[in-house]
Amino acid sequence: MSSTLYFNGAILTMDAGNSQPEAVLTNGELIQAVGSLDDLRAQMPASTIERDLQGACLMPAFVDPHGHFPDPGFIELFRVNLASAPRGDCRDISTALQRLADKARQTPKGEWVMGVSLDNTAIAEGRLPTREELDGVSTEHPIWVIHASGHNGAANSMALQRHGVDKNTPDPVGGRFGRDPETGSLTGLIEGISAMGDMGNTDFLIDRDRFWQGFNATRQEYLAHGVTYAQNAWATREMLDHFASLPADQDPGYDLVLLPIGELEPELSDGSSSLDWPGNPHFTLGPRKLFTDGAFQMQTAYLSKPYHKPIDPDFPQGMAYVTEQEHRFQVKKLHDLGHQIHCHCNGDAGADMFIDAVELALKSNPRSDHRHTIIHGQTLRDDQLARIASLGMTVSFFSAHIYYWGDQHYSTFLGPERAERISPAASAEAHGVRYTIHNDASVTPTRPIHLAHCAVNRMTAKGRQLGRGQAVSALSALRAQTIDAAWQVFQEKGRGSLEPGKIADLVVLNRNPLVNSEKLDSCEVVSTIRRGAVVWTKHH
């Protein structure tokens, strides 16, 4: 077992006292000691490698509090990326159609062509392509273009046929099919997880071989940005089968917590689902996942007051994905089974549904330290944060939205006043709510330093500061992606801070991120250490 001594730099432990010791000693996969350089030199083995940080910064590797690993690899390898600035360069629908046509020419007839990351708020036409436009690309391939949010999409005629949808298909609860107001014919638009079905899953069209190719590509991306522990936060039965295919004695080079779809219970836990689990120790089953609403870009996030500029007069406040009765049933079921729940709630009305359901579940079955978590929580009000604190709940904020869609929140989604409060991390701190921040890859790329910059400086892509009063310190933003993120999924005893006995997952940054935090995004990852071994190094 090799040991390494790290010294001569800023060391941020993220322990309870935020201590900054002189040195850290690792031994094999674990941290052996933290303290003064003299003390650690006195106890280190003779064969210890000494790593002089030369003024750089050592801290715990980042923990992704919410994302969809390995979806970024699927996009890179198998799908047509239609992202617009600042995530890509697709400026209009004609560009998107051309890229889909190029892919169709390379794809055998009858096989799917899938575009991803198209954002109606960032392309010239301000909408998704129509069925007719996608039919113009090909009538011999099913074509499916999923929105950047992952909550909506557009399909051509063959894809709608494969999906089993025609003009007479009724809209499901929490979803809808776009229809021509005069003829009733399908426009190709599909909104909501219930309406998208399998086409909305990140593992759509992914077989076992493609899964592991995507896994390896995503692993390399995450390690390059200092992330050593991540999530698959919407694990279908098929996705769980892919993860379970790895033999228990193999190290995949990455550690993950998997969040099964809540509807898979109780069969998943009682063994009646026939899934061969737990399997590999590097993949841990974590919270169960639920939804109450959609996303802001197509205005399916569920708000208590209308959108600033509603796009659908029939749904001025967005839409709930489930009925209140069904949601309360699912929350109580999972709570009574002893599971932690992570629930997607973008709008404050969606959050009300979950908070109410948790309160009812706790009244009938009190549980201490359940850590039920609101995911995104972008429009949480102060009265909600007070309830969250009193109920022992927690939040993971989608702080990257401030940069990527903050300008649209200000002008279109929420308007100036409500936009100032998106991802209200400072208010959460004031109410004593422990929180994390996330990128929700592949909605936005996993970039923990930039994400921290978003929470600290709250700058939009066009340079507007959005809600100075909701800014948090650099230390808080980094804790939200290290020890707090580990805590949020009950992993704080083994990772998330530099303390003896914890897994030696570390990251070296080029400088101390607590200094000049207004330029936090100028920090860079120099190297990433996983389980005591260097797994990524920046080459100059």
DSSP-derived 3-state class of residue 80: strand
Rounded Cα distance between 238 and 215, Å, is 15
- On whether both 316 and 443 belong to a single domain, the answer is yes
Tokens of 209: 């071989």
Counting the structural domains of the chain, the total is 3
**160: CATH:** 3.10.310
User: Rg (Cα) of the chain, in Å, rounded?
Assistant: 23
CA–CA distances in Å: residue 218 to residues 234, 245, 524: 16, 18, 19
SS (H, E, C) 322-338: CCHHHHHHHHHHHHHCC
Q: Return per-residue pLDDT of the chain as tens, 540 residues.
A: 699 999 999 999 999 999 999 999 999 999 999 999 999 999 999 999 999 999 999 999 999 999 999 999 999 999 999 999 888 999 999 999 999 999 999 999 999 999 999 999 999 999 999 999 999 999 999 999 999 888 899 999 999 999 999 999 999 988 999 999 999 999 999 998 899 999 998 899 999 999 999 999 999 999 999 999 999 999 999 999 999 999 999 999 999 999 999 999 999 988 787 776 767 999 999 999 999 999 999 899 999 999 999 998 989 999 999 999 999 999 999 999 999 999 999 999 999 999 999 999 999 999 999 999 999 999 999 999 999 999 999 999 999 999 999 999 999 999 999 999 999 999 999 999 999 999 999 999 999 999 999 999 999 999 999 999 999 999 999 999 999 999 999 999 999 999 999 999 999 999 999 999 999 999 999 999 999 999 999 986
Question: What is the largest distance, in Å, between two alpha-carbon atoms of the chain?
Answer: 82
- On whether both 329 and 404 belong to a single domain, the answer is yes
Rounded Cα distance between 228 and 65, Å, is 12
Residues 6+ positions from 319 with CB-CB distance below 8 Å: 174, 176, 192, 293, 294, 300, 302
**314: CATH:** 3.20.20.140
Q: Are strands 227-235 and 255-260 parallel, antiparallel or unpaired?
A: parallel
Judge whether 246 lies within some domain.
no
Rounded Cα distance between 30 and 137, Å, is 54
Per the document, the length of the chain is: 540
In one-letter notation, the amino acid at residue 493 is K
**524: CATH:** 2.30.40.10
Judge whether 231 lies within some domain.
no
SS (H, E, C) 192-258: CHHHHHHHHCCCCCCCHHHHHHHHHHHHHHHHHCCEEEEEEEEECHHHHHHHHCCCCCCCCCCEEEE
- On whether both 319 and 407 belong to a single domain, the answer is yes
Tokens of 320: 């709930």
Among 99, 110, 121, 507, residue whose Cα is nearest residue 299:
121
